[in-house]
Amino acid sequence: MVLRTKDIHQIVRILRQEVAKWKTPAVTAVAGRARDPFQVLVSCVLSLRTKDETTRTAFARLQPKARTPRALLRIPVEELAQLIYPVGFYNQKAKQLRDIARALIENYGGRVPDTIEELLTLNGVGRKTANLVVTLGYGQPGICVDTHVHRITNRWGYIRTQTPDQTESALREQLPPDYWIEFNDLLVTYGQNICVPISPKCSQCAIRAYCDRVGVDRRR
């Protein structure tokens, strides 16, 4: 089955209705409250290889003490690690956050850059994080591709790619621009609750009619 543009319109409409049942992803929730690119960047770093609930808790502890790069840089690395514990790789992320804060102060006057190319120069910032900062922090067009977006769009048969970077390029060519910013939120939430990595809940899926189930060996 080849997904056409009108199919994608219908899929997005259905996903918008479905994901309203579940919690908003942690980074999106941060962006919705503050619309502060620095807070979005910090929450993105915390969220990598970390469950959403852990990210929410850690960010809630850190945020009052680290509202700006300069405030964050005043926190000793040991204290910073304790504040964000138990996010994945918390010691490494504490050092990374300080490196990022220092670079923002020294190179950008304390302001988070608004281009993917500049964001990628920051310690440990990859395309996923850069796209989230650009889209959620600045409201600019971009497609954030994480493991859920990569898995689900290939599972549908909408694209056929091997890596998240290839998926981003393919989606930039095929996905209508109006959906770029929200696409990650929709698929992350759906991927956490229905279209899970192993044994997806196909019997409960509201968009199963549009899915080729590529690579799905077991399903519920």
Concerning whether 128 is annotated as a catalytic residue, the answer is yes
Residue of 7, 128, 185, 201 marked catalytic:
128
Q: Is the bond into 86 cis (omega within 30 degrees of 0)?
A: yes
Residue of 146, 165, 212, 217 marked catalytic:
146
| 8 A C-beta contact, residue 94 and residue 84 | yes
Neighbouring C-beta atoms of residue 116, cutoff 10 Å = 16
First and final C-alpha spacing in the chain? 21
Concerning whether 51 is annotated as a catalytic residue, the answer is no
Distance CA 53, CA 33 (A): 17
Distance CA 72, CA 25 (A): 24
- What residues are annotated to the active site? 128, 146
